[in-house]
Structure 1
C-alpha cells in the first residue's frame, strides 16, 4: 500500500526538509549580515573625501587641497562673492577658446590676516581675468581662472603640483600658475617642482632672494617671473629712503628663519657693516602665524635696546608679521620712552595695517614703524606726469575696474580694501601671466605651447614692459623686476597706514626706456 501523508516515511521526509530549510535560512541570514558588515566597513574605509570638483581631503587630513574648478570658497564666506564672480566668468568661455591659469594660495589658512590677504589677491586676479577677456580687443586666448590650494602651510604641495601637471597636459590647457603666497620653504619646493616640470610661474608677493633666479648666476627656477622686488632690492630702497647709519642701528632677526626672513636678515646685515652692536635673535614657532612665547623674548630685547647709546634710533627687523606685532607692542612699554625709535622692516609690515592685536598706543610713544609695501593705492595718485617707473594712468585702469566691481557684469566681488597692496599685486601678477601667454601664442593660433610661455619673461622690458597698477614691470633676463617702485608706508596710531613716498632700489627711478643694465 502506498505511503500516506501521515505515514512514518512522510513524516520523516518532512522533518528532514524542515531541518534543511532552517539551515538554509540561517545561512542566508548570516550571509546577509556579513554582506552588510562588509558594506559598512567599506563605507568607513572608502569614505568620500571629496570637497568639490578637483578638491579633496587627503588621507589623514582635514584640509581640502587640490585645484578648485567651480565656485568653491574653501569654507570661507569672505571669499564667496569673488569665487562666484570667477565661476561666472569661466562659464562664459567657449570650449577650446581658452587656456587656464591657476592662482596658488593657502586657501585653507585660518588666521584673519592671511585670509584677508588671500581675499584681496583673489579679487585682484579676477579683475585681471575680466580685463583680459573683455577689454583686449579680442586677443586670444581667453583666460580661465582656477584656485590651487597646497594647504594652509603648503604641506600638500606635491598633491597640488601633480594635479596641475595633469591639467597642463590635458584638456584644461593650463599655461601658468600665479600667486604662490609667502616665501616659505614649502612654497619654494612647490615652485621648484612646477618649473622643473615645465610649468611657468608668476610670483605675486614672493620676495625672498633664494626664491628667485639669477642668484650667483644660476637659474634654479626656469620659467619663474616675479612682480615684486627681492628682499635685497627692498632693503636697498629702504636704505636709500631712510639713510640708515650703521653706527646708530640695531638688527633684530628670526633665528633660524625662513626664506623671507633669512634673506631679509642678510640684506639688512649688509647695511649694518661696522655696527657696534651684535644682532639680537628671536626664535618663533615653526608656524610663524602662531603667538608662541616670543613676546617674552621681545620684552627682554627692549631692555637691550634701551641699553644702547642714546644715538641709536633705528631698529631693522627681519621677521614675520606676528612677531613684528609682538615686538612693536613690547616697544610700546619700553623703559626709554623718551628716545625716538624707528622700526624698519620688509613688506610683512603691511599685515599690521588691519591687525586688531596691534597696540596702536605704542605708536604714540616716540615710536615709528615703516615698511616696504609691495603696492599702495596712494603711490601714484599725485605722481608727476612723465615720471618713469609708473603712472597715475596705469593705476587708474584698476581703480576704474574696482568702481564697476560692486555689481554685474564685473561684480560683485565682496568688500574691497587696498591698503595692504595684495589686491593690486594680485592684479599685476595675473596681468603679467596673461602677457606671457599671449606673447607666446603663434599668429593664427589660440593656444600657446606650454614650453614657450616661460620663455617670454626676458623680453618684458622697454616698450614690451607691463605697465602695472603697482608700477612698471620690467624684467631682467632672470625674470626679476628691475628697479621696481617700492612704496614706503608708515603705520598710523589712529588706525591703518599712510603712504610716505616711493623709494627705488637703484636710488632713483629707472630710465624712460626701462632696460636693465648688463
Structure 2
C-alpha cells in the first residue's frame, strides 16, 4: 500500500487518511445543521427541528408513542390503497402531534391538546378513511367502494404549531405532485399558528375541514375553510342563552365572568368577547361590571386564580355560577383552587376547551364531593348524535382500538367516545371523503382535484346530505356548521371522570 510522509518522523497509511476524512465529514454533517439551521432527517418527509420531529408522513413514522397504534393502522390502510392499483387522492390530517423537546405540550404556547385527544381524533379519521375505501376482500360491498380511494397523511406542525410553515410548504408541494393532495383536515387548536396555517393553505387553493378548531376569524364568506365544530363566539352565545334561561326561571340566580386576557390566544379572546356580547344581548345579569381577569401561562397564574376562587366563593350565598372564558388547562387550576374553598358549590360553565381538564388530573376528585359542577358546551357526545350511526361506529371503534371491550362500554360515561374527539375526527374526515366521492360525478369518472373537492363541500347541507355521528354535516355561507346543536355536558367524578350529557343546546 502506498504511503505518504506526514512531516517529521513518520508516515501514515492512506486508509487511515480516508478513515479520518470520513469521520471528519460525518462530524461536519452533524455539526453544520445544528450551527447554521439545517435539517436532520427523522424519516422520509420528517425532519428534526427545535428538538422534535415534524413534517408529513404516510404512517411510516409515528410522532408520539401515544399515536403508535393508530399510525400503524393508517400506514397499513395506505399500503392497501397502493396495492389495490385503484386511483387515489390524499388528505392530510394537520395537527400538533408532539410535545416539544422539554416534554411540554406546547413549548410555552397555548395548548391543551393532550396526546390522548389527538389519538382519539386520528382514530376517528382513520375509521372514516377505511369505511370509504372498502378494500376488505370479505366485505360484500368491497367492489362497490367509490373511486378514487383515499390515502391519509399525518402532518405534524410541532408543539404549539411552531413549525407550521415547513409543513405547509410540504403540503403545497404534495398538492402539485404525485400524492394528489386534495384537502386538509384536523387543524387542532385556535391559536395564531393555526390561523396562519389556514391562510397559507387558502392561498394555495387547498380546501380544509376543521375537526375541533373554533377560531371565529377563520370563517369568511364563499369559504374554502369549513368545520364541523361550532365557532367560539357561537359556543359563548349558547352558554349565555342557557344562563339567561336560568335567570328567567330564578330571578335570584347570580352569574359572573372569569376571563383570561392573555394576548395572542384567539380562543380565549373570542370566548370572553362572545360571552360578554351575548350576555348583554340575552339580558344575562352579571354580579360585577367587569368580572375577574387573569393571564394564563405565567408562574403567577395559579396564585391569581386562587385569589379569584376566594372571591367568588366568599360570595357563595349570592353567586350561583361563573362563566370561565379560558382554556381547559387554566380551568383545571381554577377548579383546584375552588376545591380548596370549603363549601364552595358553584356551577362553572365553559367552552369546548374544558376537555383539557380531563387529562393529567388525578388530584381533582376533591371537588366532586363538595358539589362543584363543571359544565361545558361540547362539540359532540354519544347521546347527542345519530343513534344508529353511533352504534355502528362504536362497534367498529371497539373492534379496532379496544378489542375485547363491549360496544356499550366504549360509549359509556367514562368510555373513550365520551370526549367527542373520535366523533369529531371522524365527521371532519367523513365530510371530505364524501366530497371526494361526489366530485367524481354521476358516472363516477370525473377527475378529482382540490377545486372539485371545494365545490362539493359547498354543496353539503344544500344539495347534498351527509349524516355525521355528531349530527347532520352541512355548512353555511361562512363554512360554519349549519343547523347543528351542541351537547351540554357535565363533568362528574365517580372513581374517575365521567362525561354526563345534560342537554342539547341550539345557537
* TM tier relative to shorter chain: 0.7 to 0.9
How do residues 86-165 of structure 1 correspond to structure 2 at under 5 angstroms? 86-93=74-81, 94-95=84-85, 97-109=87-99, 110=103, 111=105, 114-134=114-134, 137-165=144-172
Q: Paired residue for 2:390?
A: 395
Q: Paired residue for 2:236?
A: 235
Deviation at 1:38, TM superposition (A): 4.5
Contact 1:253 1:318 in 2 (8 A): yes
SS in 2 for 1:459: coil
SS in 2 for 1:64: strand
Cα distance in 2 between the residues matched to 1:125 and 1:225: 16
Q: Paired residue for 1:500?
A: 501
Q: Paired residue for 1:404?
A: 399
SS in 2 for 1:296: helix
Cα distance in 2 between the residues matched to 1:229 and 1:487: 11
Deviation at 1:232, TM superposition (A): 2.2
Cα distance in 2 between the residues matched to 1:82 and 1:21: 58
Cα distance in 2 between the residues matched to 1:241 and 1:282: 25
Q: Paired residue for 2:469?
A: 469
Q: Paired residue for 1:208?
A: 215
Q: Do residues 73 (structure 1) and 72 (structure 2) align?
A: no
SS in 2 for 1:352: helix
Mark the CA change 1:113 to 1:358 in structure 2 (over 3 Å): closer, same or farther: farther
TM-score, normalising length from structure 2?
0.82
**Moved beyond 6 Å, runs of 4+:** 19-25, 27-31
Q: Which residue of the other structure, out of 172, 187, 192, is the alignment partner of 2:199?
A: 192
TM-score, normalising length from structure 1?
0.81
Contact 1:69 1:147 in 2 (8 A): yes
Deviation at 1:159, TM superposition (A): 0.2
Contact 1:106 1:181 in 2 (8 A): yes
Q: Paired residue for 2:274?
A: 267
Contact 2:184 2:209 in 1 (8 A): yes
Cα distance in 2 between the residues matched to 1:477 and 1:457: 11
Moved more, 296-305 or 435-444: 435-444
Q: Do residues 56 (structure 1) and 55 (structure 2) align?
A: no
Deviation at 1:83, TM superposition (A): 1.0
Cα distance in 1 between the residues matched to 2:199 and 2:246: 35
Mark the CA change 1:182 to 1:20 in structure 2 (over 3 Å): closer, same or farther: closer
Q: Paired residue for 1:253?
A: 259
Q: Paired residue for 2:368?
A: 363
Deviation at 1:203, TM superposition (A): 0.2
SS in 2 for 1:42: helix
Cα distance in 2 between the residues matched to 1:305 and 1:78: 38
Q: Paired residue for 1:82?
A: 70
Cα distance in 1 between the residues matched to 2:449 and 2:499: 44
Q: Do residues 485 (structure 1) and 491 (structure 2) align?
A: no
Cα distance in 1 between the residues matched to 2:21 and 2:269: 59
Deviation at 1:21, TM superposition (A): 11
Moved more, 299-308 or 21-30: 21-30
Contact 1:352 1:358 in 2 (8 A): no
Deviation at 1:400, TM superposition (A): 3.1
Contact 1:213 1:480 in 2 (8 A): no
Q: Do residues 178 (structure 1) and 169 (structure 2) align?
A: no
Contact 2:90 2:153 in 1 (8 A): yes
* Deviations, residues 161-195 of structure 1 (Å, cap 9, x unaligned): 00001100000000111101111111110111111
Cα distance in 2 between the residues matched to 1:237 and 1:438: 34
Mark the CA change 1:32 to 1:78 in structure 2 (over 3 Å): closer, same or farther: closer
Deviation at 1:28, TM superposition (A): 7.9
Aligned Cα root-mean-square deviation (Å) = 3.0
Cα distance in 1 between the residues matched to 2:438 and 2:5: 81
Cα distance in 1 between the residues matched to 2:89 and 2:448: 9
Deviation at 1:70, TM superposition (A): 3.2
Mark the CA change 1:235 to 1:170 in structure 2 (over 3 Å): closer, same or farther: same
Q: Paired residue for 1:411?
A: none
Cα distance in 1 between the residues matched to 2:65 and 2:170: 25
Q: Paired residue for 2:380?
A: 375
Contact 2:490 2:502 in 1 (8 A): no
Q: Paired residue for 1:12?
A: none
Deviation at 1:406, TM superposition (A): 5.0
* Deviations, residues 174-221 of structure 1 (Å, cap 9, x unaligned): 01111011111111101111111111111000112122224xxxx6xx
How do residues 298-313 of structure 1 correspond to structure 2 at under 5 angstroms? 298-308=305-315, 310-313=317-320
Cα distance in 2 between the residues matched to 1:131 and 1:155: 33
Deviation at 1:485, TM superposition (A): 2.2
SS in 2 for 1:361: helix
Deviation at 1:139, TM superposition (A): 1.0
Deviation at 1:105, TM superposition (A): 1.3
Q: Paired residue for 1:514?
A: none
Q: Paired residue for 2:406?
A: none
Q: Paired residue for 2:29?
A: 43
Unaligned segments of structure 1, at least 5 residues: 1-18, 287-291, 381-390, 409-414, 507-518
Q: Paired residue for 1:449?
A: 449
